[in-house]
Amino acid sequence: MLILVVNAGSSSLKYQVRDTAAPEAEQVLTVGLIENIGTDIPDHDAALEIMAAKLEEVLDGRELEAVGHRVVHGGEEFTQPVLLNDAVTAHIEELSSLAPLHNPANVKGIRAAFHKWPHLPQVAVFDTAFHATMPEHAWRYAIPEELYKQYGIRRYGFHGTSHEYVTHVGAELLGIPVDEFNAVVAHLGNGASATAVKGGKSIDTSMGYTPLAGLIMGTRSGDIDPSVLTTILQRDESIDAARLDTILNKESGLLALAGSNDMRKVVEAAQAGDERAQLALDMTAYRVASYIGAYNVAVGGAQAIIFTAGIGENSGDFRKLVLDRLGALGVKYNAEENMVRSPEPRVISTEDSAVKVLVIPTNEEKAIAEATEALATK
């Protein structure tokens, strides 16, 4: 099936066309990015026209058969991919208060695609959905119940499509049925999260109500004592809630600690003797290792630790910093194998390691295309 995968942001639109019937290596027909929506390009409809013109050249007469959309927030309602219609799209729009930066843009992308291709089946795949299986003791916050009831304040978790995809690939690689597979997944990109996977399902994850919680990220602080925030707001009148939100989301993390949110640069700086960069790496790796330890308990003993996304897949230096802290779990890894870069899923632990360590390239577009095909052909 020829499927267009769309990831619509507020000012940009990423897309990929995949042929799910083609051999693995030939599934991607084209990838693209349209930027400056809202400035150079008036709106998402205009962006879609530009994309459609580009697709016409590449597809050479072949017709798209379905569209799959990445949607950030599915709230408590959407726990599976869903076939889109006007009512479902309106429902996704209603969840905008939970993801004010993302859902409105996702909805614009969906509506623009329906204007352009009204006859095509379209599917939404949610970043939160994989985490719908978390037990309440993991997703509730210890705050007054009205705040949950009124505002939906609870842990939702994100990066679900990626966590689910690498869980399945990891189980297959080890020859374990996925519903018997216990793992801790570390998705380490610009945004980063860890997930506790038991029997192939998410039972806890480090991101929370928003993608700010948990690990130290490129520009996000991750976990922080909430009274730090009230203290800043009370002490510094020049900082209001919106400014604080920007500081924590865009000016913190590796950027604040080491002056760059690019892991390659931070590693290079540390290797050249920059002490700030080394501290940033130590803090970031320590946080990842701590979550892995905690989630190893949550899943009742993991069979595997999975590294994925930009840093998790590519930075042997960063993986080493994490793995060297996991000796108490009986983790042993092959130092040379750890430094190899490869596009293939692989095992980097030694035979006698108590837990397997896997490096698995994520592929959210592939997962979205497969989910889209499954619903579009139903």
| Residue 267 Cβ vs ligand ADP, minimum distance, rounded to whole Å | 6
| Options 221, 315, 353, 372; binder of ligand ADP; rule CB under 6 A | 315
127 included as an active-site residue:
yes
Q: Other C-beta atoms within 10 Å of 311: how many?
A: 27
Candidate residues 68, 170, 208, 218; the one interacting with ligand ADP per rule CB under 6 A: 218
Considering only CA atoms, which of 19, 15, 119, 5 is closest in space to residue 60?
Answer: 19
Tokens of 282: 């130590």
Residue number, 142 or 272, with CB nearest to ligand ADP: 272
211 binding ligand ADP? (CB under 6 A): no
Burial letters 68-107, b for 16+ CB under 10 A, else e: bbbbbbbbeebbebbebeeebbebbeebbebbeebbbbbb
Minimum distance from CB of 234 to ligand ADP (Å)? 33
Is there binding between residue 214 and ligand ADP (CB under 6 A)? no
Rounded Cα–Cα distance for residues 78 and 194 (Å): 21
Least Å distance between CB 370 and ligand ADP? 19
Q: How many residues bind ligand ADP (CB under 6 A)?
A: 12
Nearer to ligand ADP, 103 or 193 (CB): 193
Site for ligand ADP in 1-60 (CB under 6 A): none
309 binds ligand ADP (CB under 6 A): yes
- Kindly state the DSSP code that residue 250 receives in the 8-state scheme: H
CB of 211 to ligand ADP, least distance (A): 10
Tell me the closest approach of the beta carbon of residue 315 to ligand ADP, in angstroms. Answer: 3
SS3 204: strand
Q: Rounded to the nearest 5°, which phi and psi values hold at 145? A: -60, -30
Contact window for ligand ADP (CB under 6 A) among 76-84, 86-94, 185-193, 226-234: 185-193
* Least Å from the CB of residue 324 to ligand ADP: 17
Q: Which of 296, 314, 338, 363 binds ligand ADP (CB under 6 A)?
A: 314
Nearer residue to ligand ADP within complex by CB, 182 or 205 = 205
**Which CB sits closer to ligand ADP, 15 or 181?**
15
190 contacts ligand ADP (rule: CB under 6 A): yes
Question: Applying CB under 6 A, which of residues 45, 49, 172, 262 lies at the interface with ligand ADP?
Answer: 262
Q: How many CB atoms lie within 10 A of CB 147?
A: 12
**From 43, 60, 86, 127, active-site residue:** 127
DSSP readout, 122-154? EEEEESSGGGGG--HHHH--SS-HHHHHHH--S
Tell which residue, 218, 284, 222, 288, has the closest CA to residue 256: 218
Q: Nearest-CA neighbor of 375 among 50, 102, 20? A: 20
Given a contact cutoff of 8 angstroms between Cβ atoms, the answer to whether 44 and 13 are in contact is: yes
Using CB under 6 A, which of 263, 323, 357, 360 touches ligand ADP?
Answer: 263
Residue of the chain from 310, 322, 331, 357 that contacts ligand ADP (CB under 6 A): 310
* Residue 44: alpha-carbon gap to chain centroid: 23
The answer to whether 161 and 155 are in contact (CB under 8 A) is no
**Separation in Å, CA 329 to CA 215, 292, 319, 320, 326:** 20, 10, 15, 15, 5
Residue 321 beta carbon to ligand ADP: minimum distance, rounded to whole angstroms: 12
Any contact of residue 193 with ligand ADP (CB under 6 A)?
Answer: no
Cβ proximity of 276 and 259 under 8 Å: yes
Interface with ligand ADP, residue 264, by CB under 6 A: yes
User: Which residue from 68, 75, 81, 191 is in contact with ligand ADP, where contact means CB under 6 A?
Assistant: 191
SS3 319: helix
From 60-68, 81-89, 188-196, 366-374, give the range in contact with ligand ADP by CB under 6 A: 188-196
Torsion angles phi and psi, residue 33, rounded to 5:
-140, 125
Per rule CB under 6 A, is residue 320 in the interface with ligand ADP?
no
For ligand ADP, the binding residues (CB under 6 A) are 189-191, 218, 262-264, 309-311, 314-315
**Active site residues per annotation:** 127
